[in-house]
Amino acid sequence: MVARPTIGSGGMSRHHLRVTLEQRPDRRTEILDAALRVVLRDGIDGIRSQAVATEAGVSVALPHYYYPTLDDLTQALWERVEETERTRKQVTLAGDGVPLERLLAFVRSAFEGSPEVVHERWMLRTEFQRRALFDPALATQVRAAERRRLDGLEAVVVDAQAAGEVPAEANPVLIAGRIAGALDGFGVMLLVDLVTPAEASAALEALVAGHRGWQRPRALAIPTIDPPPAEDAADRRTVILDAAIRLIAREGIAGLHFPEVADEAGVSRSLPRYYYPTIADLLRATFERDEDIARRRVEWRAGRIDDELGRLRDAYAHAIAADPEGVRPTWVLWFEYLRIAARDPAERRRANARLAGWIAYDSGILRALKRAGRISATIDIDAAEQRLLAVDNGAGALWMLGVLTPERYAEVLDATIDDELGIA
């Protein structure tokens, strides 16, 4: 019988044991790293124990050992991602430096790193925000993190007011919402190739450094406009697509299956597949249908508002406050579409075109205001519109998560319009 080496017996030294333990890989970290790679490749809905185990090069039982359920794994992944965000906020926002310089450092850091690293950062952020819409436990954590971020931004703005860098009458809550919205909105634009990291960073710097006359909120004046009339006798394709919109709004893309769509539409289970042979075909048509609904809603309301500036305010700010439940499905579908577009070049081009279409629509209103002398002739229409769209997308996500009320969202956008267009 061979004696086992013991510590101090000359077989295995205490130093050797310590080195061996220190070099042993952290299995939890390996599993989380592998799971994050799966999320980046397939989305959170693609997390499966087998996929994570294969990616990590471990047995399928090991992820279960550390994370008994997929919800446990998702929560751990979020905590891992949020830890990085907390560190970034502490390094940049905290401290005794010049307040606006701290704000600038914070917004710059969101787009620092290689293009691949920045893209992955925003893919993960968007992915968890989207998942939170359908996962109550995760939603609680995500909302708490977003509120901490808003509180941190608000505190720096208050410091900037005390230092005389921001007007005393400005509202720190709205400024914090605007900066947070712009950050997330430029992240969205990055995912669909509308901006590069450098362009996003420069635009955010311009927002912080060049717009120090942040406006006081105006009293919300949301026009009362009846919804557009129901469409005449919709054909079966439309019935199926509208059913798909309702399903995605309730359950996300993961809940979209042909049998459920048929049941929701009240048609035979073979009919959806007859018109749309694959789920990808159905999804593409569903997103196009929802885009038509959104544009019809905006144009219907615009047609009942005589003032161009009122139309701009309504398109950006007031429609959500006027009918949050009616508008919400379109926002859910948009963020569901983003997760596809971030991974599929063809869909990314379509998402890019969709945003470009809205930019063109709003820019037309801005140019009409400029021609009429309603806004300064020195306003850079393209830059102003880009920042408006960014705040809209980011603040919209915060509204969907329950971090901003519809009214607060509208106040943030109204104040952004005032600042970007130089309206006193």
Percent of the chain with pLDDT over 70: 92
Residue pLDDT, tens place only, 152-207:
999 999 999 999 988 888 899 999 999 999 999 999 999 999 999 999 999 999 98
Dist. CA 15–CA 299, nearest whole Å: 74
Residue pLDDT, tens place only, 58-86:
998 999 899 998 888 999 999 988 888 88
For position 31, which CATH number holds?
1.10.10.60
What lies within 8 Å, CB to CB, of 294 at 6+ separation is 330
Read off the pTM: 0.87
- Range scoring the smallest mean pLDDT among 25-34, 219-228, 387-396: 219-228
Give the count of domains, the chain.
2
Note down the domain range covering 296.
236-421
User: Is 339 part of any domain?
Assistant: yes
Q: Looking at the DSSP assignment, which residues form a beta bridge with residue 7?
A: 12
Dist. CA 80–CA 33, nearest whole Å: 9
Residue pLDDT, tens place only, 312-360:
888 888 888 888 998 999 999 999 998 889 889 999 999 999 888 888 9
User: Is 257 part of any domain?
Assistant: yes
Grade residue 254 by pLDDT with cuts at 50, 70 and 90.
confident
At residue 413, does pLDDT exceed 50?
yes
User: Is 384 part of any domain?
Assistant: yes
User: Is 319 part of any domain?
Assistant: yes
Grade residue 213 by pLDDT with cuts at 50, 70 and 90.
low
User: Is 400 part of any domain?
Assistant: yes
Burial of 88 (0-12, 13-18, 19+ CB in 10 A): middle
Residue pLDDT, tens place only, 382-398:
999 999 999 999 999 99
User: Is 256 part of any domain?
Assistant: yes
**Predicted local distance difference test score (pLDDT) of residue 13:** 46
Highest mean pLDDT among 134-143, 205-214, 221-230: 134-143
User: Is 226 part of any domain?
Assistant: no
- Range scoring the smallest mean pLDDT among 3-17, 20-34, 39-53, 334-348: 3-17
User: Is 315 part of any domain?
Assistant: yes
What lies within 8 Å, CB to CB, of 54 at 6+ separation is none
For position 243, which CATH number holds?
1.10.357.10
Residue at a domain's end among 37, 68, 99? 68
